[in-house]
């Protein structure tokens, strides 16, 4: 059907900026705002919901919540240290919450008083972070919540003429803040919109299309997630014709796509994001309230995402003092050590299209297919089924050590598990070639 505010483009983008987004593969999320100060506790009660939603759980008024600005003074904040932590972890980009639902801005916005400029800290935190990450060779992405609990003109629905007038003022305010972010920080590579699920946004699909076009005019090449968009009929992420709006699907929040149902063999780009505890994005003082993933579980989600042709963003919720909790520092170190040795199977890799096996995951880059082994089989044999007319010409560890490859049947091979126990998931590099003669060889053997 004819849509005025549907998908601007069919199919994937292949320009250099989108290619870089895709090849980055591993990112980090930073959820940092006033919510880090109470850390999940209000009036002596600890709430086990997401800490960045504490205002809602504890039913705190806007006025009382925003008093927290008076306590915003992260004396241990050191943008260069944050950038080193990200660099050492091997992330290629960092998504920063410029403004979360609470409405507090990490940059000195001219359009609201609820910013760092009016806190005891005063300085432009976002500007310091953009500079430090970029100097470390790390791309910066901006998380931006359209829903803004601090703004008197925010409406979750439009029921009256007054609502309509207020919400149009709100959309102008939001335009101004987005233009401010795009012009103050022109090295930003992506906008990850959130807080767009309400009826008020679904009834203003025109505005979501306008924002995408406005940002792409201000920042040619910038990428924008699908969550911003609503079409003429309020359909979100995918328009009423089933086409993805925005540059990549970002609905995979604390979950991965179903390789068959969701992706239909990766017809679109996508990015997943995950928390280390079950559901804490902002800093929560008590992580014992839910399961906390160990580094190998986090690593498996990263590898699993890349094996399906997507990106993974691991979340960190810095403390109010500007330092990170030890569990997050430790996790970043362990992931970084593994990525230093094995990053070749992640960066610029994609879906291999081979039948998944129990021992782990495949990723692919040009004529190399990588086997990332999470489960060593007792048989000491790693079974592989290759697509028709595909031949494995060599199998090695990433250090070049050759491994035995045995053809066991038509399009099937076994690779011997390396003798040494790596005590962590390990990677095998397969060199492959697709050969017509492979098919003929079997034909002869069968006759
Ligand atoms: C949103 C926020 O409400 C949350 O605080 C955090 O910032 C997260 C990254 O984004 O939460 C979501 C957003 C989208 C989905 C679920 C929770 N979703 O698409 O299922």
Backbone angles phi, psi at 266, to 5 degrees: 45, 60
Q: Is the CB of 102 under 6 A from ligand 1?
A: no
What percent of the chain clears pLDDT 70, i.e. is strictly above it? 96
Q: What is the pLDDT of residues 54-91, one digit of tens each?
A: 999 999 999 999 999 999 999 999 999 999 999 999 99
- How remote is the CA of residue 194 from the centroid of ligand 1, in Å? 7
Which pLDDT value is given to residue 266?
A: 61
| Beta carbons of 405 and 413 less than 8 angstroms apart | yes
Q: What is the pLDDT of residues 260-286, one digit of tens each?
A: 667 554 689 999 999 999 999 999 999
pLDDT at residue 374 is higher than 80: yes
pTM here is 0.95
Which pLDDT value is given to residue 160?
A: 98
Reference 320, options 121, 25, 39, 119; nearest CA is 39
- How remote is the CA of residue 253 from the centroid of ligand 1, in Å? 6
**Annotation: CATH topology of 16-345:** TIM Barrel (3.20.20)
| Beta carbons of 405 and 346 less than 8 angstroms apart | no
Q: Is the CB of 313 under 6 A from ligand 1?
A: no
Residues 6+ apart with CB under 8 A from 246: 212, 224, 225, 226, 227, 228, 229, 237
Minimum mean pLDDT among 190-204, 295-309, 424-438: which range?
Answer: 424-438
Distance of CA 179 to the CA centre of its chain: 23
Region 356-372 average pLDDT = 97
| Beta carbons of 246 and 226 less than 8 angstroms apart | yes
Q: Is the CB of 50 under 6 A from ligand 1?
A: yes
C-alpha span between 252 and 243 (Å, rounded) = 17
Residues 6+ apart with CB under 8 A from 67: none
pLDDT at residue 447 is higher than 50: no
Three-state DSSP at 4 gives coil
Q: What is the pLDDT of residues 96-133, one digit of tens each?
A: 999 999 999 999 999 999 999 999 999 999 999 999 99
The residue nearest atom 1 of ligand 1, judged by CA position, is: 194
Q: What ligand 1 atom has the least distance to the C-alpha of 97?
A: 7
Q: Is the CB of 251 under 6 A from ligand 1?
A: yes
Which pLDDT value is given to residue 438?
A: 46
The residue nearest atom 19 of ligand 1, judged by CA position, is: 251
pLDDT at residue 258 is higher than 90: no
Three-state DSSP at 170 gives helix
From 27, 57, 102, 253, the mutation candidate for ligand 1 (largest count of ligand atoms within 8 A of CB) is 253
Quick count: other Cβ atoms within 10 Å of Cβ 311?
Answer: 24
Q: Is the CB of 56 under 6 A from ligand 1?
A: no
Q: What are the domain boundaries of the chain?
A: 16-345, 360-434
pLDDT at residue 7 is higher than 60: yes
Which pLDDT value is given to residue 264?
A: 59
- How remote is the CA of residue 198 from the centroid of ligand 1, in Å? 13
Q: Which two tokens stand for residue 193?
A: 């919109």
C-alpha span between 142 and 182 (Å, rounded) = 10
Q: Does domain 360-434 have CATH number 1.10.357.10?
A: no
**434 pLDDT band (50/70/90 cuts)?**
confident
- How remote is the CA of residue 142 from the centroid of ligand 1, in Å? 15
């Amino acid at each position: 059907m004819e849509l005025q505010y549907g998908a601007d483009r069919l199919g994937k983008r292949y320009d250099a900026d989108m290619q870089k987004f895709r090849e980055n593969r591993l990112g980090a999320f930073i959820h940092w705002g006033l919510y880090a100060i109470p850390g999940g506790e209000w009036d002596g009660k600890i709430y086990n919901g997401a800490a960045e939603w504490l205002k809602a759980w504890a039913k705190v008024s806007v006025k009382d919540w925003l008093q927290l600005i008076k306590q915003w003074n992260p004396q241990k904040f050191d943008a260069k240290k944050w950038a080193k932590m990200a660099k050492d972890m091997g992330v290629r980009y960092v998504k920063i919450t410029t403004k979360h639902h609470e409405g507090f801005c990490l940059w000195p916005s001219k359009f609201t008083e609820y910013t760092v400029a009016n806190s005891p800290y005063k300085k432009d935190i976002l500007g310091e972070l953009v500079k430090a990450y970029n100097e470390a060779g790390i791309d910066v992405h901006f998380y931006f919540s359209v829903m803004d609990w601090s703004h008197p003109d925010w409406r979750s629905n439009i029921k009256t003429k007054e609502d309509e007038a207020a919400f149009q003022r709100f959309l102008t305010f939001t335009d101004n803040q987005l233009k401010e972010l795009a012009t103050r920080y022109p090295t930003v590579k992506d906008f990850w919109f959130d807080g767009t699920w309400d009826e008020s946004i679904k009834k203003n699909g025109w505005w979501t299309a306008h924002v995408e076009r406005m940002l792409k005019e201000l920042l040619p090449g910038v990428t924008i997630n699908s969550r911003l968009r609503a079409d003429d009929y309020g359909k979100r992420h995918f328009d009423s014709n089933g086409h993805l709006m925005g540059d990549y699907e970002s609905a995979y929040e604390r979950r991965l796509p179903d390789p068959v149902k969701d992706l239909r063999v990766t017809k679109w780009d996508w990015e997943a994001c995950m928390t280390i505890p079950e559901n804490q994005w902002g800093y929560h003082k008590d992580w014992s309230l839910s399961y906390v993933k160990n580094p190998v579980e986090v690593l498996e989600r990263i590898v699993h995402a890349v094996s399906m042709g997507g990106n993974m963003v691991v979340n960190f919720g810095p403390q109010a003092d500007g330092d990170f909790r030890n569990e997050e520092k430790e996790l970043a170190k362990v992931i970084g050590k593994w990525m230093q040795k094995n990053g070749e199977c992640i960066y610029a890799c994609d879906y291999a299209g081979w039948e998944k096996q129990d021992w782990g995951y495949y990723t692919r880059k040009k004529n190399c297919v990588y086997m990332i082994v999470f489960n060593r089989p007792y048989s000491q044999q790693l079974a592989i089924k290759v697509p028709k007319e595909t031949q494995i010409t060599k199998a090695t560890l990433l250090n070049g050590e050759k491994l035995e490859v045995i053809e066991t049947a038509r399009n099937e091979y076994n690779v011997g598990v390396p003798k040494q126990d790596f005590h962590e998931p390990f990677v095998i590099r397969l060199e492959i070639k697709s050969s017509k003669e492979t098919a003929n060889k079997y034909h002869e053997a069968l006759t």
